[in-house]
Amino acid sequence: MIRVKEGLNILDKLASCGYTSYALRKERIFSESSIQRLRNGGLPSWKELDFICKVLKYDISEVIEFIDDRN
C-alpha cells in the first residue's frame, strides 16, 4: 500500500510556505476535492505531488511511503 508518510500534514506544511488551502483553491493549484482528499489522508495526484515536492523542497520519499500489507 502506498500512503502519505505517517505524521506528515501536507496542508499544514504548504500553509507554512504561504499556500493556505484558500490560496491553493483561489490560485487553482488544488481543487476543493483534492484538498478534502489530503485532509482525509488520501494521496495527492502526480501533478499535486510534483507541486508539493517543489514548494517544500522534499524528495518524493519524504512525502509518500510504501507499506507491505500482504500479511
CATH number of the domain to which 59 belongs: 1.10.260
Tell whether the model's pLDDT for residue 23 goes beyond 90.
yes
The verdict on residue 45 lying in a domain is yes
Work out the pLDDT band at 70, boundaries 50, 70, 90. Answer: confident
Percent of the chain's residues with pLDDT above 70:
100
Model confidence, pTM: 0.89
Sorting pLDDT into bands at 50, 70 and 90, what band is 52?
very high
> What is the distance between the alpha carbons of residues 55 and 37, in angstroms, rounded to a whole number?
19
Residue 71 within a domain: no
Residues 3-20 have a mean pLDDT of: 96
Domain interval for residue 60: 2-66
C-beta contacts of 18-23 below 8 A and 24+ residues apart: 19/55
In the block, cell 519524504 appears at 62
